[in-house]
Amino acid sequence: MKTSVIGYPRIGVQRELKFASEKYFRNEITADELDRIAKQIRLSAFEVQKKNSIDFIPSNDFSLYDGMLDTAFLLNVIPERYRALNLSGLDTYFAMARGYQGELGDVKALAMKKWFNTNYHYMVPELDDDTNIRINTDKPFKLFLEALENGIKTKPVIIGGYTFLKLAKYTGNKDKWSFSEKITDSYVEIIDKLVSLGAEWIQLDEPCLVNDMTESDKKHFISLYKKILERKGNAKILLQTYFGDVRDCYGEICGLDFDGIGLDFVEGTKNIGLIATKGFPKNKTLFAGVINGKNIWKNNYRCTFDIISKLKKVCGETVLGTSCSLLHVPYTLRNETKLPENYKKHFAYAEEKLSELSELRTIISSGNPEKTNEFINNTLLFRERRVEEDDRVKEKISALSDKDFVRLPEFAEREKIQKSALKLPLFPTTTIGSFPQTEEIRQARASYRRGDMTEEKYEKFIKEKIAQCVELQEKIGLDVLVHGEFERNDMVEYFGQCLNGYIFTEKAWVQSYGTRCVKPPVVWGDISRARPMTVKWSSYACSLTEKPMKGMLTGPVTILNWSFPREDISLRESAFQIALAIREEVLDLEKSGISVIQVDEAALREKLPLRKSDRSSYLDWAIPAFRLVHSGVKPETQIHTHMCYSEFSDIIKEIDNMDADVITFEASRSDLSILDDLKENHFRTEVGPGVYDIHSPRIPSKEEIKTSLRKMVSKISPEKLWVNPDCGLKTRGTDETVHSLKNLVEAAKELRKENNA
């Protein structure tokens, strides 16, 4: 039995790629130096996989920024506005990733979207009628050869043509699928070239196959692959899927001339049934994703052996693999020097998952049932009861009744009460919460954490920053102010630290987009609030201004979705536990005089099942969890929420049903089509569609913001429109932030005039 890895983390064990790229952006290192660091990261990934005797080690899974962007670049899908800058190849690539503002021009980045149900984000390729698809770079070939030179014949990985076209945005007048022919030619050329360099297996990633597929989707998928596979020559093509099951196209996949099919048996719980009922072609290799690429718990070998033994009855050659790319888990437990062994022994990061793969292979290959059983029993020790239960939390959850999820009076009445209490102008301006986190602030937090700075000094420092931030916002002229979130390293970890039941890692970084990484905390036990979380900072900020001060919290679904969750109780149960803890904080903020409270649900959509028919099982607890947080506040307290994307047209009723008073969301990177959906659905929650993109250092002009706002006013009733950036400002520099916000406030003022307010 062989083992395979779909993809490996690439940001560097110590986030070397992040730091190097950022240096490159600041012109502190050259392209060659960046390349050298990238190469080291790739080689060490090969090395560790080789050490664990992985048979199918991926190459070209590495990316300087994002895999979809790489594929666009590879296929010459480079919009004219980036070409026109006349930059080097690398800088054109980064301009697509981050936008460009300088002597040569001023262009926005490509849109960025969530990668399926993960916290990873991909760059959305843009096709237009002038796009000339052809091979533009040699990256897959270079990386294959690089590994070969180091003695490893890898399995090159490329995002497949169906997923590429499906996720790309098309702005032309023809049909997106008219590119199929060029796509086919390009993939055939890539395959040929790789084979001529010595590749045997080539992995084409087609995660879009786990989404709902229409008949026309199926038709496009089949016709694309029929043509590619007819011309594949000696190559062995692995069709790799992940993040779910392939219930809509299982038969079609089996009928095509793929040499291997990769299925996810962790999230794709229906895959095993498909194989059992429909069989599996004997002439194909099954790549069975049994090691969870998304969570950090040790594999449950009992389950895995069960799956394997079921598969063995039906399938021919079977390869053990990861359920998806290991990109979504941290590198290695070896760097967790502080976490006690009794926790650590339950964990497996990417590197440990490699040893799980090789351990599983050894024992399965031994074919000795007694040994296998003994082995399973030993590893089951790691599944021992590990959670300190908290009966009080459990009792509270079971005592909840319907009325705990309902806020009264109902929305329309509250809206009136709040309008007269808050006395805000038309088109009120605000921000999403965080202000630029300077090096000084990061340093202060770090030295406080290390114990080098006393609590007293630290508090004084943060309060100074809050005061400066409040002063700045007053000067800029914003209407609803924030304290700036300087006390937070992260919108989840910070709250986790104030909750019982959470544990924290030191180095469990996971890439979120480009150079940005997150370090999800771990839900270990039953959750309850250990102490007040934000009241001290928010009420201090509130005391400094006459304007409304927004209290800032992270919502239960986001806290859970951005943590590594427990697998021994349901997500619903964990979400309600967190909701009760955040509810206590909401009520304390209200008591301390905060009249506007924002409960961020940046990640509400993250674990939304990819298929429509599976969604209610998630929304049926996620929306109530949010409602539970705010149902106890007074009518005049205004509840805001924020989401980091605008893709909610398919769950728009549910979003409205969260029963917040105001929702801010990302709208600047994607087109404003969400506005039509809001209108059509009579969305009643007030809305702040972000008027500029904070993921890029580019400063939006006043005119540009006004243009967006005018578009918004044409679709949204002016009384319901808020004006704000599309997310928190913590990753931005101070100067660009001040400029941008000034333009934002000016734009809102002029728009008020235009609307006679």
Q: Which residues are catalytic?
A: 695
Query: Closest residue to ligand GLN, Cβ-based?
Result: 728
Q: Least Å distance between CB 360 and ligand GLN?
A: 37
Confirm or reject binding of residue 159 to Zn ion (CB under 5 A). no
What is the secondary structure of 663-708 as a DSSP string? EEE--SSS-TTHHHHHHHTT--SEEEE-SS-TTS-PPPPHHHHHHH
Token pair listed for 627: 């409602």
Minimum CB distance to ligand GLN smaller for 229 or for 727: 727
Cβ atoms within 10 Å of 211's Cβ, excluding its own: 17
Binding track, positions 630-659, relative to Zn ion; x by CB under 5 A: --------------x---------------
Three-state DSSP class for residue 408: coil
User: Which of 250, 49, 239 minimizes the C-alpha distance to 158?
Assistant: 239
Confirm or reject binding of residue 445 to ligand GLN (CB under 6 A). no
Binding residues with ligand GLN: total (CB under 6 A): 13
Token pair listed for 645: 């994307």
Q: Least Å distance between CB 558 and ligand GLN?
A: 8
| Tokens 């962790």 sit on residue | 266
Binding track, positions 77-116, relative to ligand GLN; x by CB under 6 A: ----------------------------------------
Token pair listed for 202: 């080539």
Confirm or reject binding of residue 10 to ligand GLN (CB under 6 A). no
Interface residue with ligand GLN, options 6, 730, 732, 740 (CB under 6 A) = 730
Minimum CB distance to ligand GLN smaller for 602 or for 663: 602
| Residue 542 interacts with which of ligand GLN, Zn ion, none, CB < 5 to 8 Å by class | none
| Residue 585 interacts with which of ligand GLN, Zn ion, none, CB < 5 to 8 Å by class | none
Minimum CB distance to ligand GLN smaller for 41 or for 604: 604
Confirm or reject binding of residue 642 to ligand GLN (CB under 6 A). yes
Using the 8-state DSSP alphabet, how is residue 299 labeled? P
Confirm or reject binding of residue 727 to Zn ion (CB under 5 A). yes
Minimum CB distance to Zn ion smaller for 583 or for 695: 695
User: Which of 559, 551, 631 minimizes the C-alpha distance to 591?
Assistant: 551
Interface residue with ligand GLN, options 34, 72, 110, 552 (CB under 6 A) = 552
Q: Least Å distance between CB 516 and Zn ion?
A: 12
Q: Least Å distance between CB 427 and Zn ion?
A: 20
Please state, in angstroms and rounded to a whole number, the distance separating the CA atoms of residues 275 and 265: 11
Segment contacting ligand GLN by CB under 6 A, of 369-377, 413-421, 430-438, 581-589:
430-438
Cβ 652 vs Cβ 678: under 8 Å: yes
Q: Least Å distance between CB 552 and ligand GLN?
A: 5
User: Which of 701, 681, 677 minimizes the C-alpha distance to 691?
Assistant: 701
- Pick out residues in 143-172 that bind ligand GLN (CB under 6 A): none
Distances (CA, A) of 512 to 16, 125, 307, 509, 707: 15, 18, 31, 9, 31
Please state, in angstroms and rounded to a whole number, the distance separating the CA atoms of residues 459 and 463: 6
Q: What is the length of the chain?
A: 757
Using the 8-state DSSP alphabet, how is residue 102 labeled? E
Cβ 33 vs Cβ 102: under 8 Å: no
Q: Least Å distance between CB 600 and Zn ion?
A: 7
Confirm or reject binding of residue 725 to ligand GLN (CB under 6 A). no
Q: Least Å distance between CB 529 and Zn ion?
A: 24
Segment contacting ligand GLN by CB under 6 A, of 185-193, 615-623, 682-690, 726-734:
726-734
Confirm or reject binding of residue 432 to ligand GLN (CB under 6 A). yes
Confirm or reject binding of residue 663 to Zn ion (CB under 5 A). no
Please state, in angstroms and rounded to a whole number, the distance separating the CA atoms of residues 551 and 538: 6
Minimum CB distance to ligand GLN smaller for 144 or for 537: 537
Q: Least Å distance between CB 58 and ligand GLN?
A: 30
| Residue 69 interacts with which of Zn ion, ligand GLN, none, CB < 5 to 8 Å by class | none
Q: Least Å distance between CB 509 and ligand GLN?
A: 16
Neighbouring residues of 373: CB distance < 8 A, sequence distance ≥ 6? none
Give the alpha-carbon dihedral of 740, 743, 749, 750, to 10 degrees: -140
Minimum CB distance to Zn ion smaller for 589 or for 604: 604
| Residue 496 interacts with which of ligand GLN, Zn ion, none, CB < 5 to 8 Å by class | none
Cα angle value 707/708/714 (rounded, 5°): 95
Minimum CB distance to Zn ion smaller for 541 or for 644: 644
Q: Least Å distance between CB 513 and ligand GLN?
A: 11
Neighbouring residues of 398: CB distance < 8 A, sequence distance ≥ 6? none
Q: Least Å distance between CB 517 and ligand GLN?
A: 14
Pairing of strands 126-127, 155-159: unpaired
Chain mean position to CA 390:
31
Cβ 59 vs Cβ 143: under 8 Å: yes
User: Which of 95, 61, 66 minimizes the C-alpha distance to 167?
Assistant: 66
Minimum CB distance to Zn ion smaller for 508 or for 644: 644
Confirm or reject binding of residue 433 to ligand GLN (CB under 6 A). yes
Please state, in angstroms and rounded to a whole number, the distance separating the CA atoms of residues 195 and 715: 54
Cβ 563 vs Cβ 502: under 8 Å: yes
Segment contacting ligand GLN by CB under 6 A, of 117-125, 232-240, 517-525, 722-730:
722-730
Cβ 110 vs Cβ 162: under 8 Å: no
Please state, in angstroms and rounded to a whole number, the distance separating the CA atoms of residues 524 and 385: 11
Confirm or reject binding of residue 602 to Zn ion (CB under 5 A). yes
Confirm or reject binding of residue 78 to Zn ion (CB under 5 A). no
Cβ 743 vs Cβ 702: under 8 Å: yes
User: Which of 493, 478, 515, 489 minimizes the C-alpha distance to 437?
Assistant: 489
Segment contacting Zn ion by CB under 5 A, of 266-274, 453-461, 580-588, 722-730:
722-730
Token pair listed for 4: 């395979």
- Pick out residues in 589-628 that bind ligand GLN (CB under 6 A): 600, 602
- Pick out residues in 260-279 that bind ligand GLN (CB under 6 A): none
Confirm or reject binding of residue 688 to ligand GLN (CB under 6 A). no
Residues that bind Zn ion (CB under 5 A): 602, 644, 727
Residues that bind ligand GLN (CB under 6 A): 432-434, 485, 491, 552, 600, 602, 642, 644, 727-728, 730
